[in-house]
């Protein structure tokens, strides 16, 4: 695929025409659909409402918990399928849970005590809650609008609690050391991914946004060949490998850009790179 911004006008018209087949649009939240203030800009709202008015299928695919996206779904008018916790949960357009896969307690027992060896904050997403063992005010700003906040518990209670996703928050250097330590335990079947430099996330081995999208679209009788996905993080890698039309946000890290050099590019998420791309090439 050729970058729309790097081609001659005649070729650009041909490339844009190829986008006419797209009928499904998938959006990551943080760093993509949400701006730097963690809200959907008026322009992005207008663009997504315009997609809906034209009969396109919309999907939210995020590392956030399903309870953390309800506010934004209401903003968008509802009737939108969601992939949450990086694919551990899938809900259909009506909000019905159609897929769930959590982590075995063995993962809790093995990984959670490691957090104490590194300067990181330990968090867990369950079916209904965000749990932590120590307060971290820096993590709360991103959830002010949605009002989805953590509940503090002790380590032993967390180890005994079934999880959809484990999340370690901290400086990237510390998280890289933690990741290396985790990878020494080859018996664990897990998927480790950085959704952001300061977020290291753990899901079951087969869980990803890409896998979840395949499951969802099959149930909806839709094709990944007619799907476009917007994202900015390494937790979007499998999603981009799944869809025919990946769109990398300009604010994405160099690793993601290098993995998908031929993907379309959208301007930065702040204030409204998604809307600018959609109005330029789709709407």
pLDDT per residue rounded down to tens, the chain (283 residues): 233 333 333 334 345 556 889 999 999 999 999 999 999 999 999 999 999 999 999 999 999 999 999 999 999 999 999 999 999 999 999 999 999 999 999 999 999 999 999 999 999 999 999 999 999 999 999 999 999 999 999 999 999 999 999 999 999 999 999 999 999 877 899 999 999 999 999 999 999 999 999 999 999 999 999 999 999 999 999 999 999 999 999 999 999 999 999 999 999 999 999 999 999 999 9
Q: Taking every pair of C-alpha atoms in the chain, what is the biggest distance, in angstroms?
A: 63
Name the region of 50 (left: φ>0; alpha: ψ -120 to 50; beta: rest): alpha
Same fold, 4-100+208-281 and 105-204: no
DSSP state of 29: I
Alpha carbons within 13 angstroms on the beta-carbon side of residue 260 total 30
Kindly list the catalytic residues: 28
Q: Give the residue from 85, 101, 109 showing the smallest Cα distance to 160.
A: 109
- 60 membership: H or E segment, kind and range: strand 57-61
How far apart CA 243 and CA 240 sit, in angstroms, is 6
Check whether domain 105-204 has CATH 3.30.1240.10, yes or no? yes
How far apart CA 230 and CA 6 sit, in angstroms, is 19
pLDDT for residue 15:
53
Query: In 3-state terms, what secondary structure has residue 63?
Result: coil
Q: For 238, list phi and psi in degrees, rounded to 5.
A: -65, -30
Starting at the edge strand found earlier in the chain, the sheet holding 81-84 runs 97-100, 89-91, 81-84, 57-61, 24-27, 227-231, 245-249, 264-266
Query: In 3-state terms, what secondary structure has residue 32?
Result: helix
Report domain 4-100+208-281's class.
Answer: alpha beta
C-alpha separations of 199 from 167, 186, 223, 240 in Å:
7, 22, 31, 20
pLDDT for residue 185:
74
Is residue 188 classed exposed, middle or buried when 0-12, 13-18 and 19+ CB atoms within 10 A define those classes?
middle
pLDDT for residue 4:
39
In the chain, where are the structural domains located? 4-100+208-281, 105-204
Task: Find out whether 41 and 271 touch, Cβ atoms under 8 Å.
Answer: yes
- 280 membership: H or E segment, kind and range: helix 273-281
How far apart CA 188 and CA 103 sit, in angstroms, is 10
Q: What is the CA radius of gyration of the chain?
A: 19
Global confidence as pTM: 0.93
pLDDT for residue 19:
84
């Amino acid at each position: 695929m050729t970058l729309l911004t790097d081609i001659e006008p005649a070729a650009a018209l041909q490339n844009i025409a190829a986008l006419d087949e797209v009928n499904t649009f998938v959006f990551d939240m943080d760093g993509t659909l949400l701006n730097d203030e963690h809200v959907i800009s008026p322009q992005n709202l207008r663009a997504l409402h315009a997609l809906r008015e034209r009969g396109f299928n919309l999907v939210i695919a995020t590392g956030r918990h399903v309870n953390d996206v309800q506010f934004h779904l209401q903003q968008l008018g509802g009737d939108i399928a969601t992939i949450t916790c990086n694919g551990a949960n899938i809900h259909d357009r009506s909000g019905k849970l159609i897929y769930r896969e959590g982590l075995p307690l063995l993962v809790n027992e093995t990984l959670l005590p490691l957090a104490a060896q590194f300067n990181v904050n330990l968090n867990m997403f369950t079916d209904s809650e965000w749990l932590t063992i120590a307060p971290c005010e820096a993590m709360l700003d991103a959830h002010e609008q949605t009002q989805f906040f953590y509940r503090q518990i002790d380590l032993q209670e967390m180890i005994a609690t079934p999880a959809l996703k484990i999340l370690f928050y901290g400086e990237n250097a510390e998280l890289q050391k933690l990741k290396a330590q985790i990878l020494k335990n080859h018996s664990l079947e897990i998927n480790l991914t950085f959704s952001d430099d300061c977020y290291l996330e753990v899901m079951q081995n087969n869980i990803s946004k890409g896998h979840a999208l395949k499951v969802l679209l099959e149930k909806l009788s839709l094709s990944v060949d007619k799907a476009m996905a917007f994202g900015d993080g390494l937790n979007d890698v499998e999603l981009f490998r799944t869809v025919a039309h990946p769109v990398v946000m300009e604010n994405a890290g160099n690793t993601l850009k290098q993995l998908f050099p031929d993907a379309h590019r959208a301007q930065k998420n702040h204030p409204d790179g998604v809307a600018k791309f959609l109005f330029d090439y789709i709407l």
